Amino acid sequence: MANLIKMDLRRLFRSPMFLITLSVAAVFNILLTVGMAMLTKMFASAQAVTPTILSDVVSNPFVLPIFSILMFTSLISFSYADIAGGYIKNLAGQLPHKSSLIYSKFMVIGIHNFIFLAVGSLTNALGNLAMSATGMLQLTDDGKIGAAIMTILLKWLLSMAIAAILLFVTNGVKNKVLATVIGVILGTGTMSLAYMGLNTAISNIFHTQSFDLGMYMPDALFNSVNVGANVAVINAIVVSLVFIVLFMALTVKVFKSRDVK
Protein backbone atom coordinates (compact mmCIF):
# COMPACT_ATOMS: atom_id res chain seq x y z
CA MET A 1 0.00 0.00 0.00
CA ALA A 2 2.83 2.38 0.89
CA ASN A 3 4.52 1.78 -2.46
CA LEU A 4 1.22 2.34 -4.24
CA ILE A 5 0.76 5.68 -2.48
CA LYS A 6 4.33 6.70 -3.36
CA MET A 7 3.68 5.82 -7.00
CA ASP A 8 0.45 7.84 -7.04
CA LEU A 9 2.24 10.79 -5.42
CA ARG A 10 4.93 10.72 -8.11
CA ARG A 11 2.20 10.54 -10.73
CA LEU A 12 0.42 13.53 -9.19
CA PHE A 13 3.49 15.77 -8.93
CA ARG A 14 4.49 14.95 -12.50
CA SER A 15 1.01 15.65 -13.83
CA PRO A 16 0.96 18.67 -16.18
CA MET A 17 -2.73 19.23 -15.38
CA PHE A 18 -2.00 19.48 -11.65
CA LEU A 19 0.89 21.91 -12.13
CA ILE A 20 -0.96 24.07 -14.66
CA THR A 21 -4.25 24.34 -12.78
CA LEU A 22 -2.48 25.03 -9.47
CA SER A 23 -0.37 27.75 -11.09
CA VAL A 24 -3.38 29.33 -12.78
CA ALA A 25 -5.34 29.38 -9.51
CA ALA A 26 -2.40 30.95 -7.64
CA VAL A 27 -1.67 33.63 -10.25
CA PHE A 28 -5.30 34.62 -10.75
CA ASN A 29 -5.86 34.70 -6.99
CA ILE A 30 -3.16 37.37 -6.69
CA LEU A 31 -4.14 39.28 -9.83
CA LEU A 32 -7.82 39.45 -8.91
CA THR A 33 -7.05 40.51 -5.34
CA VAL A 34 -4.79 43.31 -6.61
CA GLY A 35 -7.21 44.30 -9.37
CA MET A 36 -10.25 44.47 -7.11
CA ALA A 37 -8.36 46.53 -4.52
CA MET A 38 -7.20 48.98 -7.20
CA LEU A 39 -10.68 49.35 -8.65
CA THR A 40 -12.21 49.86 -5.23
CA LYS A 41 -9.62 52.52 -4.39
CA MET A 42 -10.11 54.19 -7.78
CA PHE A 43 -13.87 54.61 -7.36
CA ALA A 44 -13.82 55.34 -3.62
CA SER A 45 -13.16 58.74 -2.09
CA ALA A 46 -9.59 59.80 -1.51
CA GLN A 47 -9.85 59.16 2.24
CA ALA A 48 -11.72 55.86 2.01
CA VAL A 49 -9.74 52.70 2.60
CA THR A 50 -11.46 49.36 2.17
CA PRO A 51 -11.33 47.39 5.43
CA THR A 52 -10.44 43.73 4.95
CA ILE A 53 -10.55 41.16 7.74
CA LEU A 54 -7.49 38.90 7.77
CA SER A 55 -9.42 35.85 8.98
CA ASP A 56 -11.85 36.24 6.05
CA VAL A 57 -8.90 36.27 3.66
CA VAL A 58 -7.33 33.15 5.16
CA SER A 59 -10.60 31.20 5.35
CA ASN A 60 -11.42 31.81 1.67
CA PRO A 61 -8.78 30.07 -0.45
CA PHE A 62 -10.22 31.23 -3.77
CA VAL A 63 -10.98 34.89 -4.52
CA LEU A 64 -13.78 33.60 -6.75
CA PRO A 65 -15.52 30.35 -5.75
CA ILE A 66 -15.51 29.32 -9.41
CA PHE A 67 -11.76 28.67 -9.06
CA SER A 68 -12.65 25.42 -7.30
CA ILE A 69 -13.35 24.11 -10.81
CA LEU A 70 -9.59 24.08 -11.35
CA MET A 71 -9.13 21.86 -8.30
CA PHE A 72 -11.86 19.47 -9.44
CA THR A 73 -10.53 19.36 -13.01
CA SER A 74 -7.07 18.41 -11.79
CA LEU A 75 -8.57 15.84 -9.43
CA ILE A 76 -10.57 14.21 -12.22
CA SER A 77 -7.58 14.13 -14.55
CA PHE A 78 -5.42 12.44 -11.92
CA SER A 79 -8.03 9.88 -10.85
CA TYR A 80 -8.75 8.80 -14.43
CA ALA A 81 -5.21 8.89 -15.86
CA ASP A 82 -4.30 5.27 -15.08
CA ILE A 83 -7.59 4.07 -16.57
CA ALA A 84 -7.08 6.14 -19.73
CA GLY A 85 -3.49 4.94 -20.00
CA GLY A 86 -4.49 1.31 -19.58
CA TYR A 87 -1.79 0.49 -17.02
CA ILE A 88 -4.28 0.14 -14.18
CA LYS A 89 -4.86 -3.45 -15.39
CA ASN A 90 -1.21 -4.34 -14.76
CA LEU A 91 -1.32 -2.74 -11.32
CA ALA A 92 -4.52 -4.54 -10.33
CA GLY A 93 -3.02 -7.88 -11.35
CA GLN A 94 -0.12 -7.41 -8.91
CA LEU A 95 -2.23 -6.49 -5.89
CA PRO A 96 -3.97 -8.88 -3.49
CA HIS A 97 -6.85 -6.41 -3.19
CA LYS A 98 -7.97 -4.26 -6.11
CA SER A 99 -9.57 -1.85 -3.67
CA SER A 100 -6.08 -0.68 -2.68
CA LEU A 101 -6.01 1.27 -5.94
CA ILE A 102 -9.07 3.26 -4.84
CA TYR A 103 -7.87 3.88 -1.29
CA SER A 104 -4.45 5.00 -2.52
CA LYS A 105 -5.97 7.44 -5.00
CA PHE A 106 -8.27 8.88 -2.36
CA MET A 107 -5.42 9.48 0.08
CA VAL A 108 -3.30 11.17 -2.59
CA ILE A 109 -6.32 13.25 -3.64
CA GLY A 110 -6.45 14.38 -0.01
CA ILE A 111 -2.91 15.74 -0.39
CA HIS A 112 -3.86 17.22 -3.77
CA ASN A 113 -6.84 19.11 -2.30
CA PHE A 114 -4.85 20.29 0.73
CA ILE A 115 -2.19 21.76 -1.55
CA PHE A 116 -4.81 23.59 -3.62
CA LEU A 117 -6.51 25.08 -0.55
CA ALA A 118 -3.22 25.98 1.15
CA VAL A 119 -1.83 27.66 -1.96
CA GLY A 120 -5.15 29.44 -2.45
CA SER A 121 -5.15 30.85 1.08
CA LEU A 122 -1.48 31.85 0.89
CA THR A 123 -1.80 33.63 -2.45
CA ASN A 124 -5.01 35.34 -1.38
CA ALA A 125 -3.25 36.57 1.77
CA LEU A 126 -0.18 37.59 -0.25
CA GLY A 127 -2.25 39.71 -2.61
CA ASN A 128 -4.03 41.42 0.28
CA LEU A 129 -0.78 42.03 2.15
CA ALA A 130 0.73 43.60 -0.96
CA MET A 131 -2.24 45.94 -1.35
CA SER A 132 -2.18 46.75 2.36
CA ALA A 133 1.49 47.73 2.08
CA THR A 134 0.67 50.18 -0.73
CA GLY A 135 -2.27 51.68 1.16
CA MET A 136 -4.83 50.36 -1.31
CA LEU A 137 -6.68 48.58 1.48
CA GLN A 138 -6.56 48.21 5.23
CA LEU A 139 -5.90 44.68 6.46
CA THR A 140 -7.27 44.15 9.95
CA ASP A 141 -6.50 41.24 12.28
CA ASP A 142 -9.62 40.35 14.23
CA GLY A 143 -7.88 37.67 16.28
CA LYS A 144 -9.72 34.81 14.59
CA ILE A 145 -6.88 33.26 12.59
CA GLY A 146 -7.31 29.99 14.49
CA ALA A 147 -10.98 29.86 13.48
CA ALA A 148 -10.01 30.68 9.90
CA ILE A 149 -7.57 27.76 9.82
CA MET A 150 -10.27 25.47 11.22
CA THR A 151 -12.60 26.71 8.47
CA ILE A 152 -10.01 25.79 5.85
CA LEU A 153 -9.71 22.31 7.37
CA LEU A 154 -13.48 21.87 7.19
CA LYS A 155 -13.44 23.04 3.58
CA TRP A 156 -10.76 20.44 2.92
CA LEU A 157 -13.00 17.79 4.49
CA LEU A 158 -15.92 18.95 2.33
CA SER A 159 -13.68 18.90 -0.75
CA MET A 160 -12.92 15.26 0.06
CA ALA A 161 -16.66 14.53 0.15
CA ILE A 162 -16.94 16.01 -3.35
CA ALA A 163 -13.81 14.08 -4.34
CA ALA A 164 -15.48 10.84 -3.23
CA ILE A 165 -18.39 11.59 -5.59
CA LEU A 166 -16.05 12.35 -8.50
CA LEU A 167 -13.91 9.29 -7.77
CA PHE A 168 -17.03 7.13 -7.94
CA VAL A 169 -17.82 8.52 -11.39
CA THR A 170 -14.26 8.22 -12.74
CA ASN A 171 -13.31 4.84 -11.24
CA GLY A 172 -16.67 3.22 -10.54
CA VAL A 173 -18.74 4.37 -13.50
CA LYS A 174 -15.52 5.04 -15.49
CA ASN A 175 -16.88 8.11 -17.22
CA LYS A 176 -14.50 11.09 -17.23
CA VAL A 177 -16.85 13.30 -19.25
CA LEU A 178 -19.67 12.86 -16.75
CA ALA A 179 -17.27 13.50 -13.88
CA THR A 180 -16.09 16.70 -15.55
CA VAL A 181 -19.67 17.90 -16.04
CA ILE A 182 -20.44 17.19 -12.38
CA GLY A 183 -17.23 18.93 -11.29
CA VAL A 184 -18.10 22.05 -13.29
CA ILE A 185 -21.66 22.11 -11.95
CA LEU A 186 -20.49 21.77 -8.35
CA GLY A 187 -17.65 24.24 -8.84
CA THR A 188 -19.82 26.96 -10.36
CA GLY A 189 -22.47 26.69 -7.66
CA THR A 190 -25.12 25.88 -10.24
CA MET A 191 -26.73 23.41 -7.86
CA SER A 192 -27.71 26.28 -5.57
CA LEU A 193 -30.53 27.07 -8.02
CA ALA A 194 -31.79 23.50 -7.76
CA TYR A 195 -31.56 23.65 -3.98
CA MET A 196 -33.64 26.84 -3.95
CA GLY A 197 -36.33 25.18 -6.05
CA LEU A 198 -36.36 22.06 -3.88
CA ASN A 199 -36.46 24.20 -0.72
CA THR A 200 -39.57 25.92 -2.04
CA ALA A 201 -41.20 22.62 -2.99
CA ILE A 202 -40.41 21.01 0.38
CA SER A 203 -41.60 24.13 2.25
CA ASN A 204 -44.91 24.03 0.38
CA ILE A 205 -45.42 20.32 0.95
CA PHE A 206 -44.50 20.21 4.63
CA HIS A 207 -45.52 23.79 5.45
CA THR A 208 -42.15 24.81 6.81
CA GLN A 209 -39.93 27.80 6.08
CA SER A 210 -36.77 26.66 7.87
CA PHE A 211 -35.60 23.84 5.59
CA ASP A 212 -32.44 24.50 3.57
CA LEU A 213 -31.16 21.60 1.44
CA GLY A 214 -27.86 23.41 0.93
CA MET A 215 -27.06 22.80 4.60
CA TYR A 216 -26.87 19.08 3.82
CA MET A 217 -24.89 19.17 0.56
CA PRO A 218 -21.06 19.36 0.46
CA ASP A 219 -20.81 21.83 -2.45
CA ALA A 220 -23.08 24.39 -0.76
CA LEU A 221 -21.42 23.90 2.63
CA PHE A 222 -17.99 24.40 1.03
CA ASN A 223 -18.92 28.02 0.33
CA SER A 224 -20.89 28.71 3.52
CA VAL A 225 -19.10 27.00 6.42
CA ASN A 226 -17.42 29.41 8.84
CA VAL A 227 -16.02 28.39 12.22
CA GLY A 228 -15.51 31.98 13.40
CA ALA A 229 -19.18 32.81 12.83
CA ASN A 230 -20.28 29.30 13.93
CA VAL A 231 -22.03 28.70 10.61
CA ALA A 232 -22.76 25.08 9.57
CA VAL A 233 -19.80 23.62 11.48
CA ILE A 234 -21.53 20.42 12.69
CA ASN A 235 -23.32 20.05 9.35
CA ALA A 236 -20.00 20.24 7.49
CA ILE A 237 -18.44 17.48 9.60
CA VAL A 238 -21.41 15.11 9.49
CA VAL A 239 -22.23 15.65 5.81
CA SER A 240 -18.58 15.18 4.80
CA LEU A 241 -18.23 11.91 6.67
CA VAL A 242 -21.54 10.54 5.35
CA PHE A 243 -20.70 11.37 1.72
CA ILE A 244 -17.14 10.01 2.02
CA VAL A 245 -18.21 6.72 3.59
CA LEU A 246 -21.14 6.26 1.20
CA PHE A 247 -19.37 7.04 -2.07
CA MET A 248 -16.12 5.30 -1.16
CA ALA A 249 -18.09 2.15 -0.31
CA LEU A 250 -19.98 2.40 -3.61
CA THR A 251 -16.77 2.98 -5.56
CA VAL A 252 -14.97 0.03 -4.01
CA LYS A 253 -17.96 -2.28 -4.47
CA VAL A 254 -18.46 -1.37 -8.15
CA PHE A 255 -14.73 -1.37 -8.89
CA LYS A 256 -14.23 -4.83 -7.37
CA SER A 257 -17.24 -6.28 -9.19
CA ARG A 258 -15.92 -5.35 -12.63
CA ASP A 259 -12.96 -6.57 -14.64
CA VAL A 260 -10.17 -4.00 -14.69
CA LYS A 261 -9.51 -2.99 -18.27
**pLDDT for 160:** 98
* CA–CA gap between residue 20 and residue 74 (Å, rounded): 9
Q: What is the pLDDT of residues 102-155, one digit of tens each?
A: 999 999 999 999 999 999 999 999 999 988 888 778 888 888 999 999 999 999
For the cut 60, the answer to whether the pLDDT of residue 19 exceeds it is yes
Alpha carbons 17 and 36: distance in angstroms, whole number: 28
Angstrom distance (rounded) from CA 168 to CA 252: 8
pTM of this structure: 0.91
pLDDT at res. 166: 97
* DSSP-assigned beta bridge partners for residue 226: 231
Return the amino acid letter for 122: L
Residues 6+ apart with CB under 8 A from 196: none
What proportion of the chain, given as a percentage, has pLDDT over 90? 64
H or E segment at 51? strand 50-53
Mean pLDDT of the residues in the chain: 90
Q: Can you tell me the distance from the alpha carbon of 177 to that of 2, in angstroms, rounded to the nearest whole number?
A: 30
* Kind and range of the H or E run holding 99: helix 99-133
* End-to-end CA, the chain: 21
Sign of CA dihedral 161, 184, 257, 101: negative
- Beta pairing partners, 137: 50
